[in-house]
Amino acid sequence: MRDSKLNKSFGNGDSRPSRRDFLRRAACAAVGATAVSTTIGDLRMINAVSAASSPTDYKALVCLFLYGGNDGHNLIVPTDSSTYSAYASARGPLAIGASSLNGVSLAVSDGHTYGFHPSCPELAALFNQGKLASVFNVGTLVVPTTRTQFQAQSVPLPPQLFSHNDQQVQWQTSVPDQSSRTGWGGRCADAVAALNGTSNVSMNITLAGTNIFEVGNQITPYSVSTNGSIGLANVSGTRLQAVRDLLNLPHTNLYEQENAKIMNRAIDNDALLTTALSTAAPLATVFPTSTLGNQLKMISRLIAARGALGHNRQIFFASVLGYDLHSGQIGAHDNLLRELSTSMNAFYNSTVEMGVASNVTTFTASDFGRTLTSNGGGSDHGWGNHQIVMGGAVRGQRTYGTYPSLAINGPNDTGLGRWIPTTSVDEYSATMAKWFGVSATNMPTVFPNLSRFANPDLGFML
């Protein structure tokens, strides 16, 4: 059964990301705290310094957001005897048989052995090739938190802790204790934007519509469909020229002037992106024809077009819905993880084909984890979760963070196997931001709360 007390206390919303919710946050007039507002605002003055000190080689970050709360317990499972026994006992009907897991070998032992979900042989293979790593028990935190502190409510906790929309936003902004109109991907882009010169098309491109992750003070996300640029429907040739002529008429009203400028820029960017995609070398890599597969295929095409777009840095956002599995979890989660595994594998292969495998880092994120215990046919909202990071620059075949004790009501548990995170979203994200080119000087501006935690670099990037 769901924990109604916790749901009532912390909120429990629809797992589908709310466009209204994201837009409301993105449109906030100011950041909630003066210190955060000041540091985030400082990004407007950073670009010249970043351009002088950062490398000019190509790099891309690809965020795969698994909306609803992925069950990390079954993505990667401990297989050493004592830990697997605790896992199987607590999971009940959700437990996966040890013999069906895709076993992996660790380059550096963390005291456990592991296997990936039966639907994820590709992820296991990438792990064994050293191209993928797992990061354990990551979650939103205001400050490091123990079970005793959680129970006593003696330290500040992320607001609306088990609410989908709130935790999605907190994962994407990395400022859980403040309202923010920018995401950490957007702030990273602000910090390194000068590396892209005068490129007109935004370096932050979303294949999944509205998100706050890519919203910066200067950089705004550019939305692209899996079929390419999104232009004016059924408007081309003489019709398009007629629109241009109307836009270029003299406008005395300031609103009309700005609207004409924005429309002209959008039309120009549509033409630029369409041309760049059409002239980029075609890819031989075959992608699965799934929601995520189609998104990652377009991201590969956009990477191939990076030269024509003038991009030395790119940040992409892709997503999949459906991970909020309170019932029917076994079959549905099998299918979702199969999609994740086959799509990520194809995407990695495409980066190898393009010669940029070491320049592209792909990572998962999700609202929160799930309860270790089952409610019968599924699991309920959790907190800490296991994530994976993939790419040629990943120090793979290793695990990072701390695998939680699986004891119900043990040292990591808030109840029902809802793990208190031992690695913060800040630490996880900052490790990739450092690789991406955000300097040590700028890191506190991109991650205002990072200094509260012990590990600003978890070490999973080369």
Residue 44: Cβ-neighbour burial (10 angstroms; 0-12, 13-18, 19+):
exposed
What is the C-alpha to C-alpha distance for residues 196 and 188, in angstroms, rounded to an integer? 13
Which 3 state secondary structure label does DSSP give 314?
strand
Residue 125: Cβ-neighbour burial (10 angstroms; 0-12, 13-18, 19+):
middle
**Average pLDDT taken over every residue of the chain:** 90
At residue 53, the pLDDT reads 34
User: Residue 197's CB: how many other CB atoms inside 10 A?
Assistant: 11
CATH architecture of 4-229+281-452: 3-Layer(aba) Sandwich (3.40)
pTM of the model: 0.89
At residue 5, the pLDDT reads 37
340-378 tens-digit pLDDT: 999 999 999 999 999 999 999 999 999 999 999 999 999
At residue 234, the pLDDT reads 86
**Average pLDDT of the residues in 233-252:** 93
**Average pLDDT of the residues in 234-243:** 92
**Average pLDDT of the residues in 155-181:** 96
What backbone torsions phi and psi does residue 325 show, to the nearest 5 degrees? Answer: -105, 85
**Cross-strand partners of 413:** 419
Residue in this structure with the two tokens 């191939």, named with its chain if needed: 304
